[in-house]
Amino acid sequence: MSVAVATNPSSAGEVILRLDGVTKQFPGVLALDKVGLDLRRGEVHAVCGENGAGKSTLMKIISGQYQPDGGVITYNGQERHFASSMEAQAAGIAIIHQELNLVPHLTVAENIYLAREPTRGWFIDKKKLVADAQACLTRLGVDIRPEALVRTLSVAQCQMVEIAKALSLDAEVLIMDEPTSSLTESETGLLFKIIRELKAAGVGIVYISHRLDEMREIVDRVTVLRDGRYVSTKEFAATSVDEIVASMVGRSLEEKFPERTRKPCEEVLFRVEGLTRKGAFQDVSFTLRRGEILGFAGLMGAGRTEVARGIFGADPLDAGQVYMGDKQLTIRSPRDAIDQGIAYLSEDRKSQGLATKMSVVSNMTMANPSAVANRFGFIDFVREAAIAKQYIDTLNIRTPSVHQVVKLLSGGNQQKIVIGKWLFRKSQILFFDEPTRGIDVGAKYAIYQLLDELASQGIGVVLISSELPEILGMTDRVAVFHEGRLTGILTTAATSQEEIMHYASGHKGH
Amino acid sequence: MNDKQKDLIQKFAALASLLVLTAIFSLTSDAFFTVSNGMTVSLQVTSIFYLGIAATCVIITGGIDLSVGSVLALAGVVAALAVKEAGMPVPIGMMFGVICGGICGAINGYCVTHLKLPPFIATLGMMMVARGVALQITGARAVSGLGDSFGELGNGALFRIVNIGSDGFPDVVFPGIPYPVILMVLIAIAAALMLSRTTLGRHIYAVGSNAEAARLSGVNVNRVTLFTYVLSGTLAGLTGCVLMSRLVTAQPNEGVMYELDAIASAVIGGTSLMGGVGSISGTAIGAFVIGILRNGLNMNGVSAFTQQIIIGLVILLTVWIDQLRNRR
């Protein structure tokens, strides 16, 4: 179907890897829908897309971790089916993961040759191991001792070790997933120098990054994915960051959002000033008005979740003040925040929001058990069940009974239970972190309706979302984050996806 | 068979095996199914069950307490020394022993919650320290000559009916309910109520099911965890006092490996070592399975070594069944 063909003699090179109509289906989601891509020798080919566009899935298919449900992968002129990442590696396709895959308690050399250790008889040939590793590192021009333990290295150094590992495989195709996200400017410079050398050596590089500005330095062509579908492939020189962003977000608001009933007023319900948590976010200040939905937009790792957790007392703050109305709050733990009427609905329901082995009713009252217990701490089961029933009805939660174990319910229903928990706690400020992730469309609509309803009751709602249509469709104002800083607060009605993306990728203005 | 039925069957698997065991032993030995043997088994089960209750609470939070066997020895020795050397009245001395156990538990809890040691390590350390202290303060000798009143708690019974026959020999009509058994029932009921009906109990399950979710819901995770270790130490202290009272001698070497019986009874009763799951009723069944196996096998003349093998296999079997239940 949509195969990229844009031959340009200036970057001509033999096509080493070609994907045609690659499709991948996950339960309930079509992650990739007939995606095509071709990679030439000595080329850096960027793959761009929003969170969830299917970039990582595509990379995992190329590197053999996932098997496609349809489509053809042609590598070095032959059709290939990699059953595992080992097979892909053996064929010369290496991947450097976003989250580094090194064993911290082993040395650099041991990591580079993990599971491929040179042996002499039954024993590891230590000398050869170290010498070979040293050769790889020297070739990269990095100054890391092969005997150093990986856990003593900086993130940038780990990145270099990953690259050395890929080199040691004599990789012909190298996939880099967000390699610069944790690097400083000078480290990035070194990485780019290495990438240029690899290019010159004829290695084909697939490069994934959210930092569109940096791409100018190294990228030859760029392919854009959106919602698991192929959009376009262009010469980088013949396009612009604006054009790339436009094609990344270029869908219309196809999801339906409920009509808004809330009327934000001017009264400031809640504000924070100069919030800082070292290594996560710096100097974040914003206000939340009564009855408004404030969006937190930004790319993954921009610090949105961290800010919410910091306010909620889940992580300690290094600096900054939090005010409810005019009153300054002291929040040292989630307990303090909850007592002040602040609630945080975590992005990961299963690991942070629910006790999944427990019943619906237990989860529903978990944040407010004293409301269903007498003064000796004995729980009134009748009252508790009645309250749970009440929230099950208002939130339209589908469960066979209030005593159902939560892990057996669907994602949408689980999310509503978390919401019910915080409603029962009579929260004044609700932080929703990706509340619709992994939820089907119908349940999404119900949650949107609920957000609007909560805001119209005078509750301050913060919606953290990676989906721009959701931000545009549901919020009144948007706070955009980039690498731990608040880069702008925009009025939703007067902004666009493009503008938000510009702020989110670190530009200020066009 | 749907999930619900499966769940129900596996829930009662432990209870069913208990009944089957009882039936088999009743057939193989005439003396097994009698009131007096019932009391004997109950009495033998008491120490496993006290510790089993403690283990259940700790394990539900996702922790483990390996120190109870040593702590009970230390507590018993402290109680005996308080009575013998310091001349305290028996109840005060025993109170001292129980408090001593509670302090050991508090230290365990502090290590786990504040020093962030893995529970296995923290309580392993306490296991050695408490045993060492017990041996040190007694010079590794048993403390005896404690007087009859020291033995009252362990050997006394309520509603004991004895007729003096015409020949002058006492005729035991009803052996009575031993105090340790009464204590066991009271503690079991209190612990079961605490776990199932109070907010504290709810928090214990929540911490074990998902500590982070509990923390983000405002549960004071450290305090709840600390409480379970203090409870565990206190119950170990009580077990020590009861055991030493039964022997009317304080043995610093008493209670070796009791922690494993305690954990086994909890696990047989369906408590998950992953945390979040478990009940006192289940642990009661587990404790009685172990007690009845020991008693019945003894009566049938099975050697102590074979008994160990059988109990070991029973543990493997029940936990495997539990895994099957959780896997689906």
Q: Is the pLDDT at A25 greater than 60, yes or no?
A: yes
3-state secondary structure at position A351 = helix
- Put simply, the answer to whether A353 touches B220 (Cβ < 8 Å) is no
Looking at the complex, report in whole angstroms how far the Cα of residue B77 sits from the nearest Cα belonging to chain A.
35
A434 and A292 assigned to the same domain: yes
pLDDT in tens, A441-472: 667 788 888 899 999 988 899 999 888 888 99
pLDDT in tens, A237-282: 888 888 887 888 765 444 568 888 888 888 899 999 999 999 889 9
Burial class of B40 by CB neighbour count within 10 A (0 to 12, 13 to 18, 19+):
middle
A435 and A473 assigned to the same domain: yes
- Put simply, the answer to whether A351 touches B219 (Cβ < 8 Å) is no
Contacts of B218 in chain A (CB under 8 A): 334-335, 338-339, 367
Residue with tokens 């808004």: A260
Contacts of A370 in chain B (CB under 8 A): 199
Q: Is the pLDDT at A5 greater than 70, yes or no?
A: no
Identify whether the C-beta of residue A160 lies closer than 8 Å to the C-beta of residue A142: yes
Could you say which DSSP state residue A208 is in?
E
Mean pLDDT value of segment A202-208: 92
Nearest to A344 among B193, B216, B219 (CB): B216
pLDDT in tens, A477-486: 999 999 899 9
Contacts of A352 in chain B (CB under 8 A): 210, 212-213, 216
| Local confidence band at B57 (pLDDT 50, 70, 90 cut-offs) | very high
Identify whether the C-beta of residue B75 lies closer than 8 Å to the C-beta of residue B101: yes
Amino acid at A496: S
- Mean pLDDT score across all residues of chain A: 85
Residue with tokens 């100069």: A274
Q: Which domain holds residue A374?
A: 353-426
Candidate from A8-17, A119-128, B116-125 with smallest mean pLDDT: A8-17
pLDDT in tens, A54-112: 888 898 899 888 899 999 999 998 999 888 888 888 888 988 876 677 888 889 999 99
| Local confidence band at A2 (pLDDT 50, 70, 90 cut-offs) | very low
Of A388-392, A456-460, B115-119, highest mean pLDDT:
B115-119
A484 and A510 assigned to the same domain: yes
How far lies A510's CA from each of A64, A214, A245, A322, A467, in Å? 39, 16, 12, 32, 21
Residue with tokens 């050697």: B303
- Put simply, the answer to whether B219 touches A377 (Cβ < 8 Å) is no
Q: Is the pLDDT at B326 greater than 70, yes or no?
A: no
A388 and A332 assigned to the same domain: no
Amino acid at B248: V
Looking at the complex, report in whole angstroms how far the Cα of residue B221 sits from the nearest Cα belonging to chain A.
10
Residue A109 covered by a domain: no
CA distance B241 to B155: 12
Q: Please choose, from the candidates A22, A100, A26, the residue with its C-alpha nearest in 3D space to the C-alpha of residue A59.
A: A22
pTM of the model: 0.75
3-state secondary structure at position A234 = strand
Contacts of A365 in chain B (CB under 8 A): 202
Amino acid at A184: T
A302 and A333 assigned to the same domain: yes
Looking at the complex, report in whole angstroms how far the Cα of residue B271 sits from the nearest Cα belonging to chain A.
13
| Local confidence band at A223 (pLDDT 50, 70, 90 cut-offs) | very high
CB proximity list for A99: less than 8 A, separation 6 or greater: none
Residue A190 covered by a domain: no
CA distance A160 to A510: 34
- Alpha carbon of residue A386 to chain centroid: 38
From A379, A406, A426, the end of a domain falls on A426
Question: CATH code at A43?
Answer: 3.40.50.300
Mean pLDDT value of segment B150-155: 88
Burial class of A442 by CB neighbour count within 10 A (0 to 12, 13 to 18, 19+):
exposed
Contacts of B219 in chain A (CB under 8 A): 335, 366
Q: Is the pLDDT at B38 greater than 90, yes or no?
A: no
Amino acid at A104: P
Q: Please choose, from the candidates A170, A145, A171, the residue with its C-alpha nearest in 3D space to the C-alpha of residue A160.
A: A145
Nearest to B276 among A335, A355, A370 (CB): A355
Candidate from A157-171, A355-369, B63-77 with smallest mean pLDDT: A157-171
Residue A194 covered by a domain: no
pLDDT at A467: 80
Mean pLDDT value of segment A404-420: 84
Nearest to A353 among B193, B200, B213 (CB): B213
From A362, A394, A426, the end of a domain falls on A426
CA distance B278 to B271: 4
- Mean pLDDT score across all residues of chain B: 89
The number of beta carbons lying within 10 Å of the beta carbon of residue A2 is 15
Could you say which DSSP state residue A405 is in?
B
Between residues A101 and B10, the one the model is more confident about: A101
Identify whether the C-beta of residue B212 lies closer than 8 Å to the C-beta of residue A351: yes
A374 and A235 assigned to the same domain: no
Among B217, B326, B327, which would you mutate to test the A interface (most chain A Cβ atoms within 10 Å of its Cβ)?
B217
Residue A186 covered by a domain: no
Residue A337 covered by a domain: yes
Identify whether the C-beta of residue A1 lies closer than 8 Å to the C-beta of residue A52: no
Q: Please choose, from the candidates A246, A239, A243, A163, the residue with its C-alpha nearest in 3D space to the C-alpha of residue A201.
A: A163
A413 and A436 assigned to the same domain: no
3-state secondary structure at position A48 = strand
CA distance A64 to B76: 62
CA distance A193 to A197: 6
Q: Is the pLDDT at A126 greater than 80, yes or no?
A: yes
| HEC letters along A255-314 | CCCCCCCCCCCCCEEEEEEEEEECCCEEEEEEEEECCCEEEEEECCCCCHHHHHHHHHCC
CA distance B215 to A125: 49
Residue A240 covered by a domain: yes
A27 and A88 assigned to the same domain: yes
A416 and A510 assigned to the same domain: no
Residue with tokens 């002291």: A330
- Put simply, the answer to whether B217 touches A421 (Cβ < 8 Å) is yes
Burial class of B10 by CB neighbour count within 10 A (0 to 12, 13 to 18, 19+):
middle
- Put simply, the answer to whether A312 touches B216 (Cβ < 8 Å) is yes
CA distance A241 to A257: 29
**A393-398: long-range contacts at Cβ-Cβ below 8 A with a sequence spacing of 24 or more?**
A394/A420, A394/A423, A395/A419, A395/A420, A395/A423, A395/A446, A395/A450, A396/A446, A397/A360
**Percentage of chain B with pLDDT > 70?**
95
Q: In what order do the strands lie in the sheet with A221-226?
A: A78-79, A70-75, A15-26, A29-40, A229-235, A221-226, A44-48, A204-208, A173-177, A93-96
Please count the structural domains in chain A. Answer: 3
A449 and A389 assigned to the same domain: no
Nearest to A346 among B206, B216, B219 (CB): B216
Q: Is the pLDDT at B3 greater than 70, yes or no?
A: no
Mean pLDDT value of segment B299-318: 88
| Local confidence band at B20 (pLDDT 50, 70, 90 cut-offs) | confident
Q: Which two tokens stand for residue A118?
A: 């040179």
Residue A200 covered by a domain: no
Contacts of A414 in chain B (CB under 8 A): none
From A426, A443, A478, the end of a domain falls on A426
A394 and A496 assigned to the same domain: no
Q: Which two tokens stand for residue A9?
A: 């003699």
Burial class of B29 by CB neighbour count within 10 A (0 to 12, 13 to 18, 19+):
middle
Which residues are paired to A176 by β-bridges? A96, A207
- Put simply, the answer to whether B213 touches A351 (Cβ < 8 Å) is yes
How far lies B128's CA from each of B74, B116, B131, B136, B184, in Å? 11, 19, 5, 12, 27
Contacts of A381 in chain B (CB under 8 A): 197
pLDDT at B328: 46
pLDDT at A442: 63
Amino acid at A254: E
pLDDT in tens, A338-349: 999 999 998 877
Identify whether the C-beta of residue A292 lies closer than 8 Å to the C-beta of residue A270: no
Burial class of B99 by CB neighbour count within 10 A (0 to 12, 13 to 18, 19+):
middle
Contacts of B198 in chain A (CB under 8 A): 373, 376-379
CA distance A337 to B97: 41
Q: Which two tokens stand for residue B188?
A: 């079991």
Name the H helices within A411-465: 411-424, 441-456
Residue A120 covered by a domain: no
A388 and A241 assigned to the same domain: no
Identify whether the C-beta of residue A441 lies closer than 8 Å to the C-beta of residue A278: no
Our CA dihedral for A27, A31, A34, A37, rounded to 10 degrees, sits at: -140
Q: Which residues of B touch A (CB under 8 A)?
A: 193, 197-200, 202-203, 205-206, 209-210, 212-220, 276-277
